[in-house]
Amino acid sequence: MEVGYEDPRFETFLRDERALRRAHGAEVVKRLAIRLTAIRESSNLAELHLLPGRTHPLSGNRAGRFAMDLPNGRRLEFRPTPPVPSKPDGGIDLTKVTSITLIEISDHYT
């Protein structure tokens, strides 16, 4: 899949292993690298759902976003890059989502 970034500062942050380790710890950095590789090697979002990482849609004020689990209660949040393909029932057609935008690493327990 193609990967974009919502904020250029987030892209810079993800490329700085030292800053990532300082902010989130070595375990998160290791798992994040695995998740990013899985995203890039997947053809579409439906394929990503089949891989480890518990890719799941978010709800509430984060509706329209998806997340992949990271250690220590953190998750990598992203959204399909517009235009978002939809199914006849109005849901997102995950098989046609081939580009995502990374948003943030969140700690959803704080």
Instruction: Give whole-number Cα distances, 41 to 36, 45, 48, 74, 82, in Å.
Output: 9, 11, 9, 22, 20
Indicate the number of domains in the chain: 1
CB 53, CB 68: distance < 8 Å: yes
């709800």: which residue's tokens?
Answer: 59
Q: Which tens digits make up the pLDDT trace of 18-44? A: 999 999 999 999 999 999 999 999 999
Q: pTM higher than 0.75 for the full model?
A: yes
> Residue 76: CB partners within 8 Å, gap ≥ 6?
32, 35, 36, 67, 68, 70, 102, 105
Domain range holding 34?
A: 2-106
CATH code at 87? 3.30.2310.20
- Give mean pLDDT, residues 94-104: 98
| pLDDT of amino acid 108 | 72
- Helix-strand-coil percent breakdown of the chain, rounded to 5? 40, 25, 35
